Structure 1
Amino acid sequence: VFVLPRENKTYFGTTDTDYTGDLEHPKVTQEDVDYLLGIVNNRFPEANITIDDIESSWAGLRPLIVGNSASDYNGGNNGTISDESFNNLIATVESYLSKEKTREDVESAVSKLESSTSEKHLDPSAVSRGSSLDRDDNGLLTLAGGKITDYRKMAEGAMERVVDILKAEFDRSFKLINSKTYPVSGGELNPANVDSEIEAFAQLGVSRGLDSKEAHYLANLYGSNAPKVFALAHSLEQAPGL
């Protein structure tokens, strides 16, 4: 569970529960609310947060890869399959060799293989968080699965695959940027003095004619890019109708 303070508010979540409702319009359930309140109050008992303290909520769904045993990209389960699936496959192949089954029957048996961890029947928290990177016949690369904390690792693996393809198939060489040290736009701040630097940017906005609330909002939003935004304060005109 993440607990993220931002602008005098705190966001907390997420849950690890299965969802069987409307996929197009997921809603926050009372069970999830109770679960999160329990987690937060257990970690911060002095807060004593109740449902009355919650100002807003939202829900989203994250698809998990079921039985991604064939993937060693990030996760998976070493390619093992269940005994039942294995025996069914062997029986189908033997029937094919004796001309009792067709090739289509064999292919169907292969497509229905389940991992030995029986992920289709696991609690959502136990389903693999591994990701898979697949290339379609038309060249499309699809990166699926994974989790929030692995997003950089997943992206790095995908870009390495792109570089390999460009070299092997187009004889084009590229070197990836080391994103571990590449600053996010607007993030060029001293980690030890973030608050004071943001405040300095906000005061710059005030000196350009913005009120304090507007200046602080823009300073927090744009970070070290705020001076560039404030420089436009007197060169922009209000859009008609606004």
Structure 2
Amino acid sequence: MVARTELSALRDRYDLVIVGGGITGAGIFREAVRTQASALLVEARDYASGTSSWSSKLVHGGLRYLKNGQWRLTLESVRERQRLLGEAPGLVEPQTFLMPIYAGRKPGRWLMQFGLRIYDWMAGARRSRWLDAQTTLEAEADLARRDLLGAMAYEDARTDDARLVLRLILDGCADGGVALNYVKASVRSDGQRVCGVRLSDAVSGSEREIDAGVVINATGAWAGALPGAPAGAPSLRPLRGSHLLFSPRRFGLRHAVSWLHPQDGRPVFAYPWEGAVLYGTTDLDHGETPDEPRITSQEVDYLLAGLAAQFPRLCLNAGDVISTYAGVRPVVGGGKADPSAESRESALWQTPGLVGITGGKLTTFRVTAREVLRAAARELPRLLPQDEQPLFASATPVDSQRRLYGRLGIAAAGTLMQEVPGEELSRIGDTPWTWAELRWAARHEQVVHLDDLLLRRSRLGLVVENGARALLPRVLAICREELGWDAARCDAEQARWLGRWQSQHAPPGWTA
């Protein structure tokens, strides 16, 4: 329950000002508020609108990192996955994976079993097991059958990445922090050290200077482009990962399935997610601006070729895709020939008054946040993170409310049940969202544009065909009631949304 604050209402000074509202900035913000420091987070666009809403939605240890010998990163990731599964039920949920094994193809059964035994050991519990061919096909009947020996089954986790970011930010605000979206920041210096930021609000047009004990540059793929920031950001190798979404009526899966792409041996995967089936991903150098990445026709062909190899019976083609998305990973360049071989470790740098952080993984945001605060505490000791406590207070009264409580938190979910008309608790079509969640988001979650509501507060714009065009009249009615939009504003927002969806998320060859 966070209203949007005017710049004029902000303090003159904060202990910590965080620039960047993705998973890294959100994690730092949440941990900083827990130290009792005064904290302000600003994001130039909407929260999670960059890399953090376009990931593969997996909270995982990363078997690929284990294969590459990145033992510390894998162990750290597995432990954080287990922590999040325990602390955030309904937001981070277990996901069973199947890795089909075929005669004469990689990976072999024994190598996979060896790797998964290590994976299980890191998690502190045995979760992997071998399924014979018959059991595998009973689990997923549309798998390729020729030379199938069976499958390795193992456990990881899934999430809604944008909702994870929002939960961290909204919980931080509930505990005394301040966060603002659509506010651009430039860094101010006094000649010797960074001393604050200059803010510009894209909504109101107002500007304001704020002093800061320490400024955090958590802008991810934009780390080297923060205006006024001193040099020191590492050289990044932006990598694009693109995904396709399908209707479960056309591509039905009960489990996640992972396999090696026949063209280059890269791991790809498909799994049920938020009322659709999500499939990806590519991993390519992105030579353009990271602002509005989009999938290319070559990536579509590559992904469809992978599906044809693993699910030949379905004959899936571009016409079956309901939406697409692409994100740019802020990977620190290590000079590897293969983009997928680059490390996903985070990189930290520090100059007087500023700490910068980029790279890293969705799964390990908490570890990264505490590392950043320890660095910031060298200048402002009160920022030193306290004893580790659960990030999320989780309590689900009944299983039917598990999802709502996980996404909104205890207090907000309880208030929603009292505030919103009961008839709006019905689900929207075949999706897991309710009309009540849309109204709540418009009322309490700093929605500025229609795409905030359709791409990040919910994912209706991705999982409903045609960019949820059929739902727009009722969605805009909620926006009129909760945000005060008049007819002209509704028309402008609808045109803005449909233009954005067509340019960035429409399936190949889609026409209105």
Distance in 2 (alpha carbons) for counterparts of 1:129 and 1:31: 25
Matching residue's letter, 1:147: K
For residue 341 of structure 2, what is the aligned residue in structure 1?
Answer: 126
Cα contact 2:425–2:435 (8 A) shared by 1: no
Tell me how far 1:4 sits from its aligned partner. Answer: 5.8
Matching residue's letter, 2:321: I
User: Which of 49, 62, 66 pairs up with 2:329?
Assistant: 62
Q: Give matches, 1:147-162, under 5 Å.
A: 147-162=361-376
Distance in 1 (alpha carbons) for counterparts of 2:427 and 2:348: 45
Q: Any gaps of 5 or more consecutive residues in structure 1? A: 68-118, 227-232
For residue 386 of structure 2, what is the aligned residue in structure 1?
Answer: 176
Residues 131, 30 of structure 1: CA spacing in aligned structure 2 closer, same or farther, 3 A cutoff? same
Matching residue's letter, 2:484: A
Matching residue's letter, 2:347: S
Matching residue's letter, 1:239: G
Higher relative contact order (CA closer than 8 Å, sequence separation 6+): 2
Cα contact 1:202–1:219 (8 A) shared by 2: no
Q: Do residues 15 (structure 1) and 260 (structure 2) align? A: no
Q: Do residues 189 (structure 1) and 399 (structure 2) align? A: no
Cα contact 1:202–1:216 (8 A) shared by 2: no
Matching residue's letter, 1:161: A
Cα contact 2:373–2:385 (8 A) shared by 1: no
Distance in 1 (alpha carbons) for counterparts of 2:397 and 2:307: 30
Q: Give matches, 1:40-55, under 5 Å.
A: 48-55=315-322
User: Which of 196, 209, 218 pairs up with 2:436?
Assistant: 218
Q: Do residues 37 (structure 1) and 317 (structure 2) align? A: no
For residue 105 of structure 1, what is the aligned residue in structure 2?
Answer: none
Q: Do residues 145 (structure 1) and 355 (structure 2) align? A: no
Q: Any gaps of 5 or more consecutive residues in structure 2? A: 1-267, 406-413, 445-477, 488-512
Q: Do residues 26 (structure 1) and 293 (structure 2) align? A: yes
Cα contact 2:347–2:358 (8 A) shared by 1: yes
Distance in 1 (alpha carbons) for counterparts of 2:270 and 2:390: 24
Secondary structure of the residue aligned to 2:293 is: coil
Distance in 1 (alpha carbons) for counterparts of 2:279 and 2:316: 12
Distance in 1 (alpha carbons) for counterparts of 2:319 and 2:358: 37
Residues 190, 41 of structure 1: CA spacing in aligned structure 2 closer, same or farther, 3 A cutoff? farther
Identity %, equivalent residues: 27
**What is the aligned length?**
171
Which one is further off, 3-12 or 142-151?
3-12
Tell me how far 1:143 sits from its aligned partner. Answer: 0.4
Secondary structure of the residue aligned to 1:56 is: strand
Give a deviation string over 1:87-126, Cα, whole Å, max 9, x none: xxxxxxxxxxxxxxxxxxxxxxxxxxxxxxxx1x511011
Distance in 2 (alpha carbons) for counterparts of 1:193 and 1:204: 18
Matching residue's letter, 1:182: F
**Richer in strand (by share):** 2
Please tell me whether Structure 1 or Structure 2 has the larger radius of gyration of its CA atoms: 1
Distance in 1 (alpha carbons) for counterparts of 2:383 and 2:289: 46
Distance in 2 (alpha carbons) for counterparts of 1:173 and 1:30: 47
Normalization by structure 2: what TM-score?
Answer: 0.27
Cα contact 1:202–1:212 (8 A) shared by 2: no
Distance in 2 (alpha carbons) for counterparts of 1:25 and 1:196: 30
Residues 39, 195 of structure 1: CA spacing in aligned structure 2 closer, same or farther, 3 A cutoff? farther
User: Which of 481, 484, 491 pairs up with 1:239?
Assistant: 484
For residue 114 of structure 1, what is the aligned residue in structure 2?
Answer: none
Distance in 1 (alpha carbons) for counterparts of 2:331 and 2:274: 32
Secondary structure of the residue aligned to 1:154 is: helix
Matching residue's letter, 1:124: P
Secondary structure of the residue aligned to 1:32 is: helix
Tell me how far 1:173 sits from its aligned partner. Answer: 6.8
Residues 4, 189 of structure 1: CA spacing in aligned structure 2 closer, same or farther, 3 A cutoff? farther
Q: Over aligned residue pairs, what C-alpha RMSD do you find?
A: 4.4
Residues 157, 202 of structure 1: CA spacing in aligned structure 2 closer, same or farther, 3 A cutoff? same
Matching residue's letter, 1:153: V
Residues 46, 163 of structure 1: CA spacing in aligned structure 2 closer, same or farther, 3 A cutoff? farther
Tell me how far 1:39 sits from its aligned partner. Answer: 4.3
Secondary structure of the residue aligned to 2:374 is: helix
For residue 80 of structure 1, what is the aligned residue in structure 2?
Answer: none
Matching residue's letter, 1:166: L
